[in-house]
Chain A
Amino acid sequence: MSALTGTGTLLRFALRRDRVLIPVWVAVNALMVLSMPNSLESLYATPAERARLLDQMDANASFRALIGPVFDDSLGALTAWRVGVFAGLLAAVTSLLVVVRHTRDEEESGRQELIASGAVGRRAPLTAALLGAAVANGVLALLVAVGLAGQGAAGAVAFGLGLAGVGMLFATTAAILAQLTESARSARGLTAAALGAAFVLRAAGDSATDDGSSVLTWLSPLGWLENLRPFAGERWWVLTLFAAAVAAQAAVAYGLAGRRDVGLSFLPTRPGPAAGRLGTAAALAWRLQRGGVLGWSTGFFLAGVVYGGLTEGAADLVGDNERAREIFERMGGRSDLTDAFLAAMIGVLGLIAALYVVSSVLRLHGEETSGRAEPVLANAVGRLRWAAGHLVIAFGGSALIMVLAGLGFAAGYGRQTWPILGGCLVQVPAIWLVGGLAVLLYGTAPRLAQAAWGVAGAILLIGWIGPALDAPRAVLDLSPFGHLPKLPGSGMEWPPVLVLLGGAALLVAVGLTGLRRRDMTSS
């Protein structure tokens, strides 16, 4: 039996388990990339408009930090510039999820033990996980290369391969970290931190130079992607950097994997206290969710600072372009362009906060289905009190992160603190309505609880892409965010806000009534 025996079986098994995860992530990523030439063409129709965009990007360091430098005014080059960083991030996240899911996750749950005891080589599970990521990235590269071929075959192939390169690079990073950590959550977190570091390095480098030549940019795999220069005189040799890094990291991961016992790791868990101070269901909920609240708070504050800092430049940039201005006005309201930009960006953060509220509400579902809720509820804790602990964090937390985003905006922009805070707070009723929907699903139909993610995703799509596609009013109205007044800029309108608040309260009440009456599901 060789070290790779069983890899094929494990790979087929992994792909079967990922038959939803991989297609969805890859399809979203490919759609984002492939829809870009059309929307860019409608935004910047003439060569003169594109040339002006290039000049502005050269001059605007904060935009370069966010998206990267532009190398050419062709539609292909603009597409690679506009979505390159985000598509790279998405490919990396997809890859790290796939790899950790089939390595450390399996070991942590104990399932690996059963598999390892079969006719399975020592290196087979890791190989199957990496091959699974390779399939995802390969399909993405193929879709991008074929879909963008109209903009130039060489550039399309280079861009596709570059995205796959970023994906595989972080797949192997995840493979190493999955050997080092004892829990899948830490493996995912550390890989995401590495990805964040890559983003920050590239952003710092790109804000310093306008041609990607900074050392900092070259230190980041995301910087390699832009320096591959798809559609702008491809530098094919950059692909060898990806290949070399992937090979080196894979070698390290295999070396570590061969040197340790199944289920164990190189970074063992530290012991905890022998006695605890937790004494209420609410304290337990806070203990379980505080890490998430802290992460979202930091992220929202920083995002506010970044967008706030971009505000002035953005108003200038958009002001020159009639169609871009229209889109911002659809998102942010028909007012002063700075206010419209602020309102649009605040709206985007509001949509993302809806994801927070869903994830936080569904912690209840996770606690219940894992069997951890059962012994808690077998103590003198009523279901409502148990649920309330989590819901306070979900609903209070979403208001908190919006306030922090507002403070960030105000700090980055330096003016209009109160109107901006008002704009952030006015998002809260719509966020709560989504949260209320999650409570309703969880309380009355726990098997459908995960559908709350689908609802939040659909609302995100409507709010994010709807205005750019000039979607009909009826579609935009499906989202609770579509009914909010566009603040700052427009006047405050209380009726929609109050209706949303009432709706959220009603949904929570019905959901909790359902929870009180139904059976608790067991694991």
Chain B
Amino acid sequence: MTKAITVSGLHKSFGRTHALDGLDLEVETGEVHGFLGPNGAGKSTAIRVLLGLLRADAGAARVLGLDPWTDAVEAHRRIAYVPGEVTLWRNLSGGEVIDLYGRLRGGLDTARRADLIDRFELDPTKKGRTYSKGNRQKVALVAAFASDADLIVLDEPTSGLDPLMEAVFQRCVEEERDRGRTVLLSSHILSEVEELCDRVSIIRSGRTVETGSLADLRHLTRTSVTAELAGAPDGLTPLPGVHDLDVQGHRVKLQVDTDQLDAVLKALTKSGVRSLTSTPPTLEELFLRHYEESGR
């Protein structure tokens, strides 16, 4: 399978700020790829480099096999983009903007346009200045999903949508995947990412810190275990991968790296287990761990 996006060692600075500091990213054709990271991690900068709006200082990037800077127009014919902050012209109606974007790219499926306007409950006759944030995003989303682009780049596209519209959005992304499109989804909404994405990349301070399928990533996280033992716990402390160990009499609470779970369970059963609760890792914990590290 060919890659829709390949990025390696991308650097971009603005004055003294290093927005991208050796970013790597690979997006397979036909997958929905989650692009995650705390605020200021460089997600939007990376997307703007991929769109040829910014010129990278160093590193290589290919989008749909093309150079995003020199072949920008050629690449854009096959890309649809929804920015995080959609600003519209105050005196153009939403319908006019959707059609303008469609024609500028080179075509728009009118049946799908009508269908999407219906599903997103968008009033296309309102002027740009009278739309709310969510409705401005819907204008850009309708334009993107009604296009016949091969790659759809979404930069936090749902921050203004209500839960109902969020569900419509998720269905639209699934339909795009079913039609064989590639989607790069930058998002903060973890349930959305868990629901939609085949693979995710997490970036922090302009660098990729994790990348892989959700199952791969879950493997990297910790399971929390609470056990009520028959006797005093023994031999837990020296075990690798055990964190936040808390022993109160016969009661044990700990966190364990998921790949070390087996050893911990064996140690516990030596003392006799009366009850055991184990909570599987959530994406949220994984993200919190990465987000918090960036704060340090």
Residues of A within 8 A of B (CB): 108, 182-183, 185, 269-281, 284, 287-288, 370-372, 374-382, 517-520, 522-523
Contacts and interface: CB of A to CB of B under 8 A. Distances in A.
A108 B101 CA distance: 25
Nearest to B54: A519
B212 interface: no
Contacts, number: 118
Given A370-B87, A520-B54, A274 B124 contact: yes
Contact of A182 (B81, B97, B101, B129): B129
Nearest to B69: A517
A254 B238 CA distance: 75
A513 to B, nearest CB: 14
Contacts of B129: 108, 182-183, 269
A381 B124 CA distance: 24
A381 B72 CA distance: 9
Given A271-B126, A278-B96, A379 B83 contact: no
Interface stretch (B102-110, B168-176, B288-296): B102-110
Interface residues on B, range: 35 or more
B77 interface: yes
A275 B95 CA distance: 5
7 contacts: A185-B90, A271-B127, A273-B95, A275-B96, A382-B72, A519-B54, A520-B54
A182 B83 CA distance: 26
A281 B91 CA distance: 16
Interface string B37-55: 0000000100010011111
Given A271-B126, A275-B95, 11 more contacts: A272-B96, A273-B96, A274-B95, A279-B99, A280-B103, A379-B104, A380-B76, A380-B77, A381-B104, A382-B72, A522-B44
Contact of B93 (A185, A271, A284): A271
Contacts of B73: 380-382
A271 B96 CA distance: 12
B100 interface: yes
A272 B92 contact: yes
Contact of B95 (A272, A374, A380): A272
B124 A519 contact: no
A287 B105 contact: no
B31 to A, nearest CB: 21
Contacts of B269: none
A340 B127 CA distance: 50
Given A273-B125, A378-B79, A520-B53, A278 B130 contact: no
Contacts of A273: 93, 95-96, 125
A279 B52 CA distance: 22
Contacts of A376: 101, 104
Nearest to A270: B127
Nearest to B147: A379
Given A271-B127, A382-B73, A276 B83 contact: no
A523 B85 CA distance: 9
A288 B90 CA distance: 10
A275 B124 contact: yes
A378 B50 CA distance: 10
Q: For the complex of A and B, list the 9 residue pairs with the smallest distance between their C-beta atoms, beginning with the closest.
A: A276-B96, A272-B93, A279-B103, A379-B104, A271-B125, A378-B81, A276-B99, A274-B95, A380-B77
A24 to B, nearest CB: 27
Contacts of B96: 272-273, 275-278
Contacts of A372: 87-89
